Structure 1
């Protein structure tokens, strides 16, 4: 894998799928994807991130984002929420989703999470920041 960022739907999904394959081939603990920070959506905070490892997506969401995530999961019936954790000191929920599928389906889901859940435009820029 030689590239680590993309900003079109086709390029992002290829990048994400390649990252999943590299993650599996290397036997790494997880991979991390990040999207551009959008001040209109994120305020002063960092941009959103998604981790994937051992057939599980991990992400932090607000209550509104969690509702959108649950809606999105209706399009991915083979994926399911396994754990929701909302510590008192945190402003949101950590979500773990079991996702047993091929690299392309996982990549499509990750891209949709950034767009539908985290409200990124179709042209958002994403990075693979850890494999």
Structure 2
């Protein structure tokens, strides 16, 4: 891979597909995608705090891992409902396992994704947009291959 981030829908899907291909070619355990919101893309986010007060720290960015034909992600119960609805559009993808750790809020979801890299990329993009509610201009990163 020669690039590791993208900020438009088409470029993100291409990035995700390239990440899946690189993961398979390198026989790595997984590839991890992270989504960040660019403050310029989110019109409701102020550029700075005019009074100099400390701003609350941002929560960790959502991430999705792909490895061995499986998507792995963490989500809240509301996000899980959105994921279940979204997967109706992707018949080759199905939830295989839900894990609710006692020491953490939310649920870890494992989704079988036995599909070509382009279809996996489409699903990853839709999960970031519809499940994690990222705006159209969010920046995505390949965090690990």
Q: Same fold (TM over 0.5)?
A: yes
Name the structure with the higher helix share: 1
Shift of 1:44: 3.5
Residues paired across the two proteins, number: 129
Shift of 1:37: 4.8
In the other structure, the counterpart of 1:2 is 2
Q: Which has the larger radius of gyration?
A: 2
How is 1:1-131 mapped onto 2 (pairs within 5 angstroms)?
1-37=1-37, 44-131=58-145
Q: Are residues 71 and 38 of structure 1, via their aligned partners in 2, closer, same or farther at CA, if it must alter by over 3 Å?
A: farther
For normalisation by structure 2, the TM-score amounts to 0.85
Q: Are residues 45 and 38 of structure 1, via their aligned partners in 2, closer, same or farther at CA, if it must alter by over 3 Å?
A: farther
For normalisation by structure 1, the TM-score amounts to 0.94
Structure 1: where are the runs of 5+ without partners?
none
Q: Secondary structure at the match of 1:128?
A: strand
